[in-house]
């Protein structure tokens, strides 16, 4: 089981806790935080095309969140100044606040653990401080992701 400290450290630095036994968050769907889960991809990217099925499976495995697939070229106005260097890239946000933004391995289990840890971090933070924004982004990219998160929350 992941401790609250491990969940908070992950929320801050994006390092996945070393466990395969994450709690499935014993919150009801009515009380669990709703995240914006965004995949930033491109139609020309073979890995993205392959990841589309994984992203759909993630939606089925963890319903109750808002999922969005953004083609960074076809929806460049929405993607704004985000500079995607590696595909696929996920952004997870809660109420317009970015929790995670970065590339992910195209594996369903990894994406599920990422979402579950962020849900746990937001749940813990609802009792006090807000979860930390990702520390792994340059300032301009943190701003670009924050703008996207705000647009999607609005």
pLDDT at 129: 60
Lowest mean pLDDT among 52-66, 76-90, 130-144: 130-144
118, 92 in Cβ contact below 8 A?
yes
Q: Residue 70, exposed/middle/buried by CB under 10 A (0-12, 13-18, 19+)?
A: buried
What pTM did the predictor assign? Answer: 0.78
Q: Which CATH class is domain 4-153?
A: alpha beta
Mean local confidence (pLDDT), 60-66:
96
Mean pLDDT of 126-137: 69
pLDDT band (50, 70, 90) for residue 20: very low
pLDDT at 13 over 80: no
Helix (H, G, I), strand (E, B) or coil at 89: strand
Looking at residue 124, what is its pLDDT? 86
Is pLDDT of 16 > 60?
A: no
Instruction: Over range 63-70, report the average pLDDT.
Output: 97
Which carries the bigger pLDDT value, residue 72 or residue 20? 72
Query: Where do the DSSP E strands lie in 85-144?
Result: 89-94, 97-103
Nearest to 66 by CA among 91, 97, 34, 96: 34
| Per-residue pLDDT at 99 exceeds 70 | yes
User: Measured between alpha carbons, how far is residue 71 from residues 2, 53, 80 in Å?
Assistant: 34, 15, 12
pLDDT-based confidence at residue 21 (cuts at 50, 70, 90): very low
Domain residues of the chain, as ranges?
4-153
How far is 23 from 146, CA to CA, in rounded Å? 28
- pLDDT of amino acid 134: 76
């Amino acid at each position: 089981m992941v401790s609250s400290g491990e969940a908070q450290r992950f929320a801050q630095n994006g390092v996945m806790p070393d466990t395969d036994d994450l709690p499935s968050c014993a919150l009801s769907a009515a009380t669990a935080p709703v995240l914006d889960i965004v995949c930033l991809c491109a139609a020309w990217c073979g890995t993205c095309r392959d990841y589309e099925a994984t992203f759909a499976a993630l939606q089925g495995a963890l319903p109750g969140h808002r999922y969005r697939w953004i083609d960074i070229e076809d929806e460049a106005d929405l993607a704004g100044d985000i500079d995607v260097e590696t595909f696929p890239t996920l952004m997870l946000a809660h109420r317009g606040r970015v929790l995670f933004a970065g590339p992910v391995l195209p594996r369903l289990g990894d994406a599920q653990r990422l979402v579950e840890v962020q849900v746990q971090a937001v749940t813990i933070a609802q009792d006090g401080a807000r979860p930390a924004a990702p520390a792994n982004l340059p300032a301009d990219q943190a701003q670009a992701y924050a703008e996207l998160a705000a647009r999607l929350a609005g």
